[in-house]
Chains A and B, each alone.
Chain A
Amino acid sequence: MKKNIYLDNNATTKVDSMAVEAMMPLFTKQFGNPSSIHSFGDQVGAKLKVARRQVADLVGALHDSEIIFTSCATESTTTAIYSALKVNKDKKEIITTTVEHPATLDVCEQLEREGYIIHRLKVNKKGQLDLKKYAGVLSENTALVTVMWANNETGTLFPIEDMALMASEKGVLFHTDAVQAVGKIPLDIQDTEIDMLSFSGHKLHAPKGIGALYVRRGVRYRPLLRGGHQERGRRAGTENSAAIVAFGVAAEQAELHLDTLSGKVKALRDKLEQGILSQVGHTFVTGDPDNRVANTANIAFEYVEGEAILMLLNQFGIAASSGSACTSGSLEPSHVMQAMQIPFTAAHGTIRFSLSRYTTEKDIDYVISVVPEIIDKLRSFSPYWKDGKPLDIEAFEPAA
């Protein structure tokens, strides 16, 4: 029988059954608009208050009002960037990195066209930043620093607390896209100098279509969406109450399971990596293995192409993802792999396995048992491979 093994949790996650259960009454009985004066509205309003506290607790926010619910983390990030620019009209520089999610990269690219100066910090081959270079571009002209906490492809963590502190010493606003970090590492935002933090429900077992933006009390802020008093005027639009309630429950569960992540999930991830690397030659782990979220393994397979690997994995009932060009319809490997200057023999063959607390040891054992034959099959008709080893690539690349 075909298996059903889901190892693409950095893309999205299964909704926690308790979260599903909590949200259902909001479709059937408690469907009121929390802004309404009658009891239909009131009972929803009370539930949203609970959910806001649960979500605030997950990131360690002191005040409920520091949490703004949005439709997704992309909206949160866009709101944070534009807000920072609006409250800093005379500052025209933004600091970010080359490996951000498109939610940040594309907004910055558009702002660059409009005349802003974008400093994109580069990463080294392990996906790490050089904080000296960061210090070198931080200045009184910087309107905002926006840097991801954990990379979605490799799981590599950036030193966000240190970077936020450096920004605050210069009086510069600091935003972090923490989509891949929240619910995976313990966060106590109150102890940091982070001004704004974006995260999403569906990466931590809440439904899609709900995100949040943390804005520290006292940080100047301008809304992106106007036209209503919801979220204290900071994000207009009728609340997605069912999703917010589910987000609250999922956030609470995520916090309770942080130890599962750093314990069981990490052990399974490490087993998966070792299992594959010990059996398949010419493979390596990308990013910074010592400094990353516990659920992510990004493995580069040399001399094979990622989409082909994914299609064969899918035949075995295993879902993963790839930084390969072909899966996205692009002809170039992902910007993260390019930024890390991953060798060209492997740039098109990176596979991301992202686990969750629902991943079992049986799942991992099965993946370990099928990956070697998949890679063997593809290498058997790769023009760069012969008799179990790679050929001299120069023989194929265009001659000088």
Chain B
Amino acid sequence: MWNYSETVKDHFFNPRNAKALEDANAVGDVGSISCGDALRLTLKVNEQTEVIEDAGFQTFGCGSAIASSSALTELIIGKTVTEAEQLSNQQIVDYLGGLPAEKMHCSVMGQEALEAAIANYRGIELVDDDHEEGKLICRCFAVDEGKIFRAVQKHGLSTIEDVINYTKAGGACTSCHEKIEMVIDEVVAGKGPQSATAGEDSARVQPISSLPPTNPLMQKVLEILSNLRPYLQADGGDVSLVKASENLIVVSLSGACTGCMMTDMTLGWLQEQFSEALGFAIPVVNHIPEPVAESA
């Protein structure tokens, strides 16, 4: 098992400030249950002095996620909002006496929850840019295949070192180096990201022309989709049709239907529903928008 420091163990077994503040005036939510960890940070900020007088965390996650949340609250209580804003995830790591490389993301989650809570206090809305594409390659820094593929392609990277410098992927435990080499080889060979999900893969390699809106099959597909949408909307997601042919339906998922395991699960469900309603098996894949300009 993990070689957690004594401080990590202490904060896990005896978490500090594990509570929801009833009189909070700042709330920060990050993560989700489907991604495996989630943190809700509640702060009581003195509006005159801007001092964080109390902080509470509620965390769903592993030992180090709970310890990082606990450490976070200890680090920020008594600081002003401006001081707390300077807190980095590394300070959480240092406070805990270190974290295993594969668990660094737990400290990042703490820092992000703080950022979200401060934004909430100031009335600023943060844009959620959490997205995932394809298989997770680097588990230490949570870098997926799509991101590595694009970095290799865009910057003409050819070695593991390059990939580490540009994306961080492979920079810690090194167990993903073989997989990174495979991504580099794919780019050199001019292929698309290999796995993504099987569905996404076929969407890339088999461009299909959509049936005209007047086609009876197309009308049937649209009708089925409009019957299915309320179920997804009830769960905070949505789906729209991109194109359809006799042997493939391409949809675009949004909201709570995407991210982590949810994309695959939703697609599997849609595929079942479509195949059942149409009376024959038809793959349903998710449309991947062209990557927009990378932010630095």
Q: Show the binding face of A for B, using Cβ within 8 Å.
A: 113, 303-308, 310-312, 314-315, 324-327, 329-333, 338, 341, 344-345, 347-348, 380-384, 386, 393-394, 396-400
Q: How far is the CB of B109 from chain A (nearest CB, A)?
A: 12
| Interchain CB contact under 8 A, B236 and A330 | no
Contacts A344-B33, A396-B29: A324 and B62 contacting too (C-beta < 8 A)? yes
B162 within 8 A of A: no
B252 within 8 A of A: no
Cα–Cα distance between A331 and B106 once the two chains are bound (Å): 11
| Interchain CB contact under 8 A, B139 and A329 | yes
| Interchain CB contact under 8 A, A311 and B63 | yes
B163 within 8 A of A: no
| Interchain CB contact under 8 A, B61 and A341 | no
Contacts of B139 in A (CB 8 A): 329-331
| Interchain CB contact under 8 A, B13 and A329 | no
9 contacts across the A-B interface (CB closer than 8 A): A305-B36, A329-B173, A341-B265, A344-B33, A382-B58, A383-B29, A384-B60, A396-B40, A397-B235
Q: Closest chain A residue to B101 by CB distance? A: A329
| Interchain CB contact under 8 A, A383 and B40 | yes
B71 within 8 A of A: no
Q: Closest chain B residue to A307 by CB distance? A: B62
Q: Show the binding face of B for A, using Cβ within 8 Å.
A: 1, 12-13, 15, 18-20, 29, 32-40, 57-66, 100, 102-103, 105, 128, 130, 136, 139-140, 142, 173, 182, 233, 235-238, 254-256, 259-262, 264-265, 268
Task: Kindly list 11 other residue pairs between chains A and B, CB separation below 8 angstroms, not including A308-B65, A329-B140, A344-B262.
Answer: A312-B13, A330-B136, A330-B139, A332-B136, A381-B58, A383-B60, A384-B33, A394-B236, A396-B40, A398-B32, A400-B233
Contacts A305-B62, A307-B62, A341-B268: A399 and B36 contacting too (C-beta < 8 A)? no
Partner of A329, one of B18, B34, B102, B255: B102
| Interchain CB contact under 8 A, A383 and B236 | no
| Interchain CB contact under 8 A, B236 and A398 | yes
Cα–Cα distance between A400 and B257 once the two chains are bound (Å): 9
Pick from B34, B62, B254 the residue with the most CB of A within 10 Å.
B62
Q: Closest chain A residue to B232 by CB distance? A: A400
Q: Closest chain A residue to B185 by CB distance? A: A113
| Interchain CB contact under 8 A, A398 and B261 | no
Contacts A308-B12, A308-B61, A308-B62: A333 and B36 contacting too (C-beta < 8 A)? yes
Contacts A330-B136, A341-B268, A381-B57: A398 and B128 contacting too (C-beta < 8 A)? yes
Contacts of B12 in A (CB 8 A): 308, 311
| Interchain CB contact under 8 A, A308 and B255 | no
Contacts A311-B12, A331-B136, A348-B36: A326 and B260 contacting too (C-beta < 8 A)? no
| Interchain CB contact under 8 A, A344 and B34 | yes
Cα–Cα distance between A384 and B268 once the two chains are bound (Å): 26
Q: Closest chain A residue to B19 by CB distance? A: A381
Q: Closest chain A residue to B235 by CB distance? A: A394
| Interchain CB contact under 8 A, B39 and A383 | yes
| Interchain CB contact under 8 A, B60 and A305 | yes
Q: How far is the CB of A238 from chain B (nearest CB, A)?
A: 30
| Interchain CB contact under 8 A, B59 and A331 | no
Cα–Cα distance between A341 and B40 once the two chains are bound (Å): 26
Cα–Cα distance between A347 and B33 once the two chains are bound (Å): 9
| Interchain CB contact under 8 A, A381 and B61 | no
By Cβ-Cβ distance, the 3 closest A-B pairs, closest first, are A400-B255, A326-B62, A307-B62
| Interchain CB contact under 8 A, B33 and A338 | no
| Interchain CB contact under 8 A, A383 and B256 | no
Q: How far is the CB of B19 from chain A (nearest CB, A)?
A: 7
Contacts of B140 in A (CB 8 A): 329
Cα–Cα distance between A382 and B19 once the two chains are bound (Å): 9
Q: Closest chain A residue to B256 by CB distance? A: A397
Q: Closest chain B residue to A390 by CB distance? A: B33
Contacts A308-B62, A324-B62, A383-B40: A398 and B256 contacting too (C-beta < 8 A)? yes
Cα–Cα distance between A381 and B256 once the two chains are bound (Å): 23
Cα–Cα distance between A399 and B128 once the two chains are bound (Å): 10
| Interchain CB contact under 8 A, B36 and A331 | yes
| Interchain CB contact under 8 A, A348 and B173 | no
Q: How far is the CB of B167 from chain A (nearest CB, A)?
A: 16
Cα–Cα distance between A331 and B260 once the two chains are bound (Å): 9
Contacts of A311 in B (CB 8 A): 12-13, 63
Cα–Cα distance between A75 and B32 once the two chains are bound (Å): 39
Cα–Cα distance between A327 and B65 once the two chains are bound (Å): 12
Partner of A384, one of B38, B103, B128: B38
| Interchain CB contact under 8 A, B60 and A399 | no
Q: How far is the CB of B77 from chain A (nearest CB, A)?
A: 17
Partner of B33, one of A306, A310, A393: A393
Cα–Cα distance between A398 and B37 once the two chains are bound (Å): 14
Cα–Cα distance between A38 and B212 once the two chains are bound (Å): 84
Partner of B36, one of A324, A341, A382, A398: A324
Q: How far is the CB of B7 from chain A (nearest CB, A)?
A: 14
Contacts A327-B1, A400-B238: A347 and B256 contacting too (C-beta < 8 A)? no
Partner of B18, one of A312, A327, A380: A380
Contacts of A307 in B (CB 8 A): 62-63
Contacts A311-B63, A326-B61, A396-B29: A338 and B38 contacting too (C-beta < 8 A)? no
Cα–Cα distance between A272 and B60 once the two chains are bound (Å): 25
Cα–Cα distance between A147 and B102 once the two chains are bound (Å): 32
| Interchain CB contact under 8 A, B38 and A383 | yes
Cα–Cα distance between A255 and B60 once the two chains are bound (Å): 44
| Interchain CB contact under 8 A, A399 and B255 | yes
Cα–Cα distance between A332 and B197 once the two chains are bound (Å): 14
Contacts A307-B62, A398-B236: A326 and B36 contacting too (C-beta < 8 A)? yes
Q: How far is the CB of B267 from chain A (nearest CB, A)?
A: 11
Partner of B38, one of A314, A315, A380, A396: A396
Q: How far is the CB of A109 from chain B (nearest CB, A)?
A: 9
Contacts of A348 in B (CB 8 A): 33, 36
| Interchain CB contact under 8 A, A382 and B60 | yes
Contacts of A308 in B (CB 8 A): 12, 61-63, 65-66
Cα–Cα distance between A325 and B106 once the two chains are bound (Å): 13
Q: How far is the CB of B193 from chain A (nearest CB, A)?
A: 14
Pick from B20, B60, B268 the residue with the most CB of A within 10 Å.
B60
